[in-house]
Amino acid sequence: MKLAYYPGCSAQSTCAELNTATLLVAKKLGLELTQLFTATCTGARELRAVDPLAFYSLNVRILALAEKDNLPVMTVCNTCTLNLLDAQTAFQEDPALAEKINERLAEEGLHYSGGTRITHFLWVLFEEIGEERLKSMFVRQLPGLNVAAFYGCHITRPPLQYGFVDSRNNTSLERLAVLVGSQPIDYTGRTECCGFHTAAEDENIAVNMTANHIASAKANGATAMVTPCPLCHTVLDTLQPEMNKGRKAPFKMPVLHLSQLVGLALGLEPDELKIDKHVVSVSNINRWFGRPPSVVERELA
């Protein structure tokens, strides 16, 4: 099936491994992705606050680019998803705004009529592909993995925005964990906030909030975490060393991107999926597959 692919800024820079993994996994899943290379950033939270008209215009432009090819647009980042959905709603509900935006798009030869469907890779797995087909494509299971899902705020709130998941009804990542043969872990941080959107200015908020989530995951037996958002991943993984300061035992909690977890079950190798590009490394990935640790790993342990 064909989809327009909007990777977002993070997957093209600090989380480039997410882009690599997603493209590999999409191929295996039979998703034909057309990347929107001439798109722009969706503006995260900052642009929406300080220049709302630019925010709506740039997001509708992304939707218009997908509409040109008559394709739904698939994201791999929660905030991108929220922004596109937000702009779509504003465009559909405010004809004056829609006209203004289309005037600006016309300078580029673009036009938007409001028809693009917006989806996230997580939703594609369940809605486009479905659990039965996924199960049949998973050639490898991960019985040695206890995985704690970190959904991220922007695909769970505000409520009623997303028909697929909301903060009281999120089970998609846990269901996926079962499909790949692993054990989903319950803990307090599942639908909590990582604090990414204040992290560039003041890391303290993100570091403190997320340290609690990782601590809970660890206390409940998780050996890894998975998230569908690279912004959450950046806090959980890249800022994890900061969370270890003053802690008796460092967390050592590896964090996977959603497409990496799916990729492992599809038979792709960890280094193809660039799991080695994370800040927190996985020390015993063979254990996840239920294989005994290799001789080298046993000696290092």
Partner 1 sequence: MNIVPFQFKPSQSQDSLLARNTLLKLGDIVKIQVKRSEGGANNYQSFEVPYSQHMRVLDALNYIADHQAPDLAYRWFCGSKMCGSCAVRMNGREVLACWEAVLPEMTIDPLRNLPVIRDLVVDRTPYEKRVASYKPWLERDEPYSGFPEPLTHRDMKSVSKALDCISCMACYSACPVIGLGDLTNFEGPAPLVQLAQTMLDPRNGAKKVASTLESIDIFSCVSCYKCEEVCPSHIPIVSMIIEPLKRKVAEVHPEKARHALVFKSIIARRGWIDPTELVLRTQGFKALLNVRRVITLLLRGKVNPVKTLFGRAKVSAAAAARFITKDKS
Comparison of 158 and 290: residue with beta carbon closer to partner 1: 158
Pick the piece of the chain touching partner 1 (CB under 8 A) from 6-14, 24-32, 262-270, 286-294: 6-14
Please select the residue that binds partner 1; options are 32, 69, 108, 127, rule is CB under 8 A.
108
Q: Does 254 bind partner 1 (CB under 8 A)?
A: no
Pick the piece of the chain touching partner 1 (CB under 8 A) from 38-46, 123-131, 135-143, 256-264: 38-46
Comparison of 208 and 294: residue with beta carbon closer to partner 1: 208
Is the CB of residue 9 less than 8 Å from the CB of residue 245? Answer: no
Q: Does 167 bind partner 1 (CB under 8 A)?
A: yes
Pick the piece of the chain touching partner 1 (CB under 8 A) from 128-136, 182-190, 245-253, 288-296: 182-190
Q: Token match 């016309």: residue?
A: 106
Q: Does 197 bind partner 1 (CB under 8 A)?
A: yes
Cβ contacts of residue 65 below 8 Å, gap of 6+?
4, 36, 38, 39, 110
Give the whole-angstrom CA distance, residue 183 versus residue 223.
10
Is the CB of residue 51 less than 8 Å from the CB of residue 290? Answer: no
Q: Does 192 bind partner 1 (CB under 8 A)?
A: yes
Comparison of 46 and 269: residue with beta carbon closer to partner 1: 46
DSSP one-letter string for 217-242: HHHTT-SEEEES-HHHHIIIIITHHH
From 262, 215, 293, 244, select the one nearest 121 (Cα to Cα). 262
Comparison of 78 and 116: residue with beta carbon closer to partner 1: 78
Q: Does 220 bind partner 1 (CB under 8 A)?
A: yes
Q: Token match 């079950």: residue?
A: 265
Q: Does 57 bind partner 1 (CB under 8 A)?
A: yes
Q: Does 23 bind partner 1 (CB under 8 A)?
A: no
H or E element in which residue 79 lies: helix 78-93
Task: Number of residues interacting with partner 1: please give it, by CB under 8 A.
Answer: 74
